[in-house]
Structures are given as C-alpha cells and as structure tokens.
Amino acid sequence: MSSASPSTVSLVTTPTPRPKRATVHDVAVEAGVSRGTVSRYVNGERYVSASAREAIEAAILKVGYVPNTAARNLVMQRSQAVGFIVHEPHSLFVEDPNIGEILLGANTALSEADYQMAVLIVDSERDTERVARYLSGGLVDGVIIVSARAYDPISRVVERLNLPAAYVGHPPGASTASFVTIDNRGSARAITERLAATGRRRIGMIAAALDRDSGADRLAGFTEALGDRFDERLVEPVALYSYSAGRDAMQALLERAPDVDGVFAASDAVAAGAMEALRAAGRRVPDDVGVVGFDDSAWAKRTLPGLSTVRQPAAGLGRQAALLVLGQLRGEAGAQEVQLESEVVWRDSA
C-alpha cells in the first residue's frame, strides 16, 4: 500500500448537455405578462395582481427559472457578498488553531445580515493577481483580511479600490483601515505575571514569529511583566509557531540556562514542544519547570499536565471583523479599531 498513481474508474458517459437557463423573458412569455411584472414579483414588490402572481409562479416552476445573480449584480451595483482573504495559508490553515473559528464567526455575522462570504486563498503569485482581479471586478462589496503582510499587493488593491475592509490583526503599513485584535501584549504580561506569582525565579520565553506584531507584542508583554528580573539570555526566538520549533528551542534554552524554572511559550504548539523537550531532559512539569502557552487551542487540552494559557476569542474576532465591514457597507464612515478581551486559563502546567 504505497503511494502510487490514482486508480480511476469511469462510471457514465453522457455527453454533458449544458442546458441553457431560463430568463425573466421566458417566464414572462410563459405567464403572458411583461418582464417588468415578473421582475417585480421576484423581488417581492407590491403592485402585483393575484392573477399575475399565480401565472408567474406557475411559469417559473414550468420553465425552471432561477435568477442570474451576475446580471443582478451588474445592474444593482452590488454583490451582497464579502470576501474573506487568507494569506500564508500553509502556516494558517494547517497550523493555526484559530483560523477555523475566525472563519465561522465571520460567516455567522455575515449570514445574519444576508451576505454571502467567499473565502479567497492567496497561496502564490498567481493567486495574488487573480484575487486582485476578483476583488476589482465588483464580485464582493467588502473584504475581511487575515494575516496580511507588509507591502501586501492585496492590501494595496483594496485600498486603491476603496473597498470597505477590516483586518483581523494589525493591518500592514500605515494604512488607516479598520481592524480587530486582541491585546497580545497585555495578555502576555498577565500570564507572565501569574507565572511569576507561582514563585518562579528564572523565567524564560520561547518567542515566535517576531516579524509579526502578534509575536513581537507577546515578547514585549513578557519583558514588561518581568521588569528588572528580565534576562535576555533567557529568550529563545524561533521563526514559527510550531511544535518542533518549541522542542528545539527548549532544548537550546536548557543548555544555555539549566536553571530555568519557568517558560512562557508564544503559542500552545510551541509550549507542547517545549514540554516534550523538558520531559526528555528529565524535568518535571510543573514541579521543576512551570510552562504557559498562548491560544488555548486543542494542544492545551491534550498536554500532560494541562497547559495554562491565554484564550483568544477567535470566533469573536471573525464576528467583529464582519460587523466592521457591514458597518462600512451601511455607510458608517471612519476606520475603527476594536480590541477584544482575552482570558487567562489556568491549568496544571504552572
């Protein structure tokens, strides 16, 4: 059972008779009324006689009419849709434990307002151009952007088009766009303080993704919390919020500073990796070393002992971003900055 070419089986072979779809016109002639009347009926306006209504209903059923949204969008000058753009999807979709909740939160809010959400993935140069075209084409009335990078072409397009937009996380560059975040810095400070309150004297941090503001802010909060006791030799930076990075970093940290008795990992995945390294080194958690993480993802509940961490209101982030866009769609002017409250979850790892 090794990886091989897929086995294919043909089932049927009807020559795909692409059917031409019925239009308002077809319904009109079938019902013996004018196109205008049909259009009014479809859009639920008043001033449609009972007789006309019946005839139209029957006609619609008979010819199998479904309105063409593209045509409607064209004349209405709006699409009743909002794009959800996700960058760097490899780290996001596969690693980020929050992306799913963010998506669902945004979708719920948009759905309630009768907007369709279309998730657009940017995973290559081609994607960038194509998505830019898509946005330019009037297929969405606004966008939610998650994890944008600095000098992001997509952000530029959005700005140039003057498209109502909201970012999840800090928008790149100096753009004055709406965005929603959590207080990474304050949360990091809070959990570090609680870790210190357990009596730890030599507290280190495995910092990750310092090129993103989330990563940088968490380190800043950590530094703030420790004040005088901060020792930069106890900070081990890694590139990604990943399990293996956490494991390797903890190993390095243990070598450089064998006396660490507390660790703040920049994410739960990192923390889980760190705990593995600690176990391998014969250190007990929390007895010898206290560990805290960030995210309250599935990792936090499956470590042994359970991981103390910071809970992000992921669905709330998506929901707020959606509300921000909807507000702009309603004409509410001005960029808004929304900060959602996070929460320290105390378990047994510290």
The residue range among 23-31, 231-239, 271-279, 296-304 that interacts with DNA, by the rule CB under 7 A, is 23-31
Residue 152 is inside which H or E element, if any?
Answer: none
Q: Identify what 35 binds: DNA, a second copy, none; CB under 5 to 8 Å per kind.
A: DNA
Q: Segment 206-265, which members bind a second copy (CB under 8 A)?
A: 243
Neighbours of 205 (CB within 10 A): 29
Phi/psi at 82 (5° precision): -130, 135
Say whether 50 sits in a helix, a strand or coil. helix
Q: Name the token pair of 330.
A: 């309603």
Is residue 77 within the footprint of DNA (CB under 7 A)?
yes
Is residue 37 within the footprint of DNA (CB under 7 A)?
yes
Residue 203 is inside which H or E element, if any?
Answer: strand 203-208
Q: Segment 43-102, which members bind a second copy (CB under 8 A)?
A: 64, 66-74, 79, 81, 84, 89-90, 92-94, 99-101
Neighbours of 17 (CB within 10 A): 5
Is residue 108 within the footprint of a second copy (CB under 8 A)?
yes
Q: Identify what 58 binds: a second copy, DNA, none; CB under 5 to 8 Å per kind.
A: none
Which residue has 């809070």 as its token pair? 190
Q: Give me the least distance between CB of 65 and DNA, in Å please.
A: 7
Q: Which of 30, 59, 60, 65 binds DNA (CB under 7 A)?
A: 65
Q: What residues pair up with 115 in beta bridges, in sequence order?
A: none
Calculate ∠ Cα 69-72-74, nearest 5°.
110
Q: Identify what 174 binds: a second copy, DNA, none; CB under 5 to 8 Å per kind.
A: none
Is residue 60 within the footprint of DNA (CB under 7 A)?
no
Say whether 222 sits in a helix, a strand or coil. helix
As a residue count, the chain comes to: 350
Q: Segment 15-44, which members bind a second copy (CB under 8 A)?
A: 15-19, 21
Identify whether the C-beta of residue 115 lies closer than 8 Å to the C-beta of residue 332.
Answer: no
Is residue 157 within the footprint of DNA (CB under 7 A)?
no
Q: Segment 255-314, which members bind a second copy (CB under 8 A)?
A: 272, 276, 279, 298-299, 301-302, 304, 313
Q: Identify what 37 binds: a second copy, DNA, none; CB under 5 to 8 Å per kind.
A: DNA
Q: Give me the least distance between CB of 155 and a second copy, in Å please.
A: 16
Upstream peptide bond of 305 is cis (omega within 30 degrees of 0): yes
Choose among 231, 232, 263: nearest CA to 249: 263
Q: Give me the least distance between CB of 38 and a second copy, in Å please.
A: 16
Q: Name the token pair of 88.
A: 């760097």
Q: Identify what 151 binds: a second copy, DNA, none; CB under 5 to 8 Å per kind.
A: none
Q: Name the token pair of 243.
A: 């399990």
Q: Which residues bind DNA (CB under 7 A)?
A: 20-21, 23-25, 32-37, 39-40, 42-43, 46-49, 51-52, 65-68, 71-72, 74-77
